[in-house]
Amino acid sequence: MKGHQCRLAPTALALVFLGGAFTSMADERILSILPNGQVVYGDEPEPQAKRSSVISVERHPPNPQEAEAAQRALAMTRAQLLRDAAARAVRLKQLDNQIGDVYDEFQNLRSKQRAGREVGEGDRQGRRFSHQYAQRQRALLLAAAQAQQRLDNLVTERTALGY
C-alpha cells in the first residue's frame, strides 16, 4: 500500500498544483441581484436576492510594459486635466471681469437712454419730434441692445464653463 500511495502522491501533488494555478487565474464569484435592483458580488449568494448567478473572474498577471504604458498615459491625462482646469479658471476670471465691465456699460447706456427721452430745445418741429431726436433715440436704443447682447453672450459662456 505504501508504494501505491507513493505513486499517487506525485499525481495528486501535480493536480493540486495545477488546480491552484487555475484558481489563481480564474475565480468564481456570485452575482446577486437584490429586489431593489442593486447588484452585489460575493463568495456566496445573498439570502434576499431575487436572482443569483455564478460568474468567472479571470485574473491576468500584469504585463510590466503594459502597466508602465498605462501609468504614462494616466500621468499625461492627469497633466492635461490640470492644464485644462487652470485655463478654465483663468477664463472664468476674465469672464467675471468682462461681465462686470459690460454690465456697468449697459447700466450707463440705460441711464443715457432714459435721460435721452427728455425733450429738449430743438427736439420738436411743431407738435412732432425732430429727425435728430428720433436718431438719438435709435442710437441710444441700439447701443443698449448691443451691450445687452454682449452681456448675454458673456453670461452664456460663463454658464457653459459650469459656474
Residue type at 48? Q
pLDDT number for residue 109: 93
8-49 pLDDT per residue, tens:
344 433 333 344 444 444 678 888 999 998 999 888 899 998
- Structural domain boundaries of the chain? 19-61, 64-120+127-160
pTM of the model: 0.53
Report the C-alpha dihedral over residues 42, 45, 47, 50, rounded to 10 degrees. Answer: 110
User: For the segment 92-115, what is each residue's pLDDT rounded down to a tens digit?
Assistant: 999 999 999 999 999 999 999 888
Task: Specify whether the CB–CB gap between 29 and 42 falls below 8 A.
Answer: yes
